[in-house]
Structure 1
Amino acid sequence: MPYEPPPHLAGLTLAQIAALVDERKLPPIETWTPQQSGESHMVIAADGTWFHEGGEIRREAMVRAFASLLTRDEDGQHWLVTPFEKLRIEVEDAAFIATDCVRTDDALVFRLNTDELVIAGPDHPLRAGGTADAPALYLHARRGCEARLNRSTWAQLAEIALAEGAEDNGWHVASQGAQFRLLP
């Protein structure tokens, strides 16, 4: 069955987006107890490109499949988890890149570079990092993993914030009842 990415965010209601999020079936890695652990020899570069043993993984379907097995532990280490093994993966900045953002009703919705949709809110907070000169925004995607907002997505979010009076509220945005600061 061919892969069909979700439609453009701007044409969807919050209810449609929520239904697409609910339809996504991820492997139940939380229930797996792999007996072996080791190195995956994989790296996720700061720009979201995946590498294995120095070579770029060019097949998007493979990246999506590997990404569905990704988790991050309390120490900040990223892992690819299967029922049989748990493999360490190097992540230079964030596991995912947020590539699109839209305000829909009372929610901010993001598309990741893996075509996943994430609705910011209490379960998926935004976090401001970096410095005042070079701010970076991160979105909690799932299983401890974050998505860094790319430049155009950060600009989209800034436009939303400005339209909602960000200069008056200290550069905050709200989504599903949660407030998030956009500057470190």
Structure 2
Amino acid sequence: MPLTNPPPDAIAGLSLSEIAQMAADGRLPPVEKWDPDHCGDSGMRIAADGQWWHEGSPIGRAALVRLFSTVLRREPDGGHVLVTPVEKLSIAVEDAPFIAVEMESEGEGEARRLAFRTNVGDLVIAGPDRPLTIEDRGHGEHPYLRVRGGLDALVARPVYYELANLALDEKPGPDGRTGLWSDGAFFALEPQKEAGPA
């Protein structure tokens, strides 16, 4: 479970056990349990670079963005809303709502654990319920990390390069692709190889 009110802005120097405990202690509003009527559009947008906007102006207060991020939910139709117990407002999301901006690794091979911090302060350990994927969402293949409840983070380029460097030192995964293990799950960092002619 992600933590949306992180104590420091960085996770460098923390052990994965400390990060896991911080994530486990995180408390988020139960947005999945709220079902108010849709009240319209929020006038807000999350740009592909992770910047939050309201009516054409960037939201500069990090604390306000963090607050809004805790009531963000992805709907079954793929749209995004800001939801409270009494109202639900649409919000435009150009790509993923979050950016994974920092990564820490502990262990090697199948014992490795990877922890990430997002631009809004979520702390996430990649694993079976929080996969790392390479996807093409209409603008080329990019790495994504599941944060919570259908909400993903685009993995920032420098963080992806860190992952790729770690993966190059590891043995290929069960399917022969280059990737990394985290929390008992293997995540390929390259697309599925196409089978050749029979």
Letter of the structure 2 residue corresponding to residue 41 of structure 1: G
Partner of 1:180 in structure 2?
187
- Out of 70, 83, 88, the residue aligned to residue 81 of structure 1 is 83
- Cα displacement (A) at 1:4: 6.0
Aligned residues: 181
Match among 11, 14, 26 for residue 12 of structure 1: 14
Q: Normalising to structure 1: TM-score of the pair? A: 0.90
Once residues 19 and 9 of structure 1 are traced to their aligned partners in structure 2, the CA distance between those partners, rounded to angstroms, is 13
CA distance in 1, matches of 2:16, 2:69: 24
Deviations 1:25-73 (A, max 9, x none): 1111122221343111110000000001111000000000000001112
- CA offsets per residue over residues 14-34 of structure 1, 9 Å max, x none? 211111101211111122221
Q: Where does structure 2 lack aligned partners over 5 or more consecutive residues?
A: 192-198
Match of 1:69 among 68, 71, 78: 71
C-alpha contact 1:71 1:79 (8 A) present in aligned 2: yes
Go from structure 1 to structure 2 and tell me whether the alpha carbon gap of 1:130 and 1:66 turns closer, same or farther (over 3 Å shift): same
**Residue type of the alignment partner of 1:137:** P
One-letter amino acid of the structure 2 residue matched with residue 35 of structure 1: D
Shift of 1:129: 1.3
Matches for 1:35-54 after TM superposition, within 5 Å:
35-54=37-56
Counterparts in 2 of 1:63 and 1:116: CA distance versus 1, 3 Å = same
Q: 1:110 to 1:172 in 2, by over 3 A?
A: same
Letter in 2 for 1:117: L
Note the C-alpha offset of 1:160.
Answer: 1.4
Q: How far apart are 1:10 and its partner, in Å?
A: 3.2
1:66-145 equivalences in 2 (<5 Å): 66-105=68-107, 106-130=112-136, 134-145=140-151
What is the distance in 1 between the residues matched to 2:157 and 2:38?
Answer: 39
Q: How much does 1:7 deviate?
A: 5.9
Distance in 2 separating the partners of 1:69 and 1:139: 19
Equivalent in 169, 174, 177 of residue 170 of structure 1: 177
Over the aligned positions, Cα root-mean-square deviation in angstroms equals 2.2
**Gap runs ≥5 in structure 1:** none
The alpha carbon displacement at 1:163 in A equals 2.2
Compared with structure 1, are the counterparts of its residues 118 and 4 closer, same or farther at alpha carbon in structure 2 (3 Å cutoff)? closer
C-alpha spacing 1:170/1:5, structure 2 compared with 1 (3 Å) = same
Q: TM-score, normalised by structure 2?
A: 0.84
**Which of 46, 60, 64 lines up with 1:58 in the alignment?**
60
Change in Cα spacing, 1:83 to 1:94, as seen in structure 2 (3 Å) is: same
Distance 1:39 1:183 in 2: 38
1:147 and 2:153 matched: yes
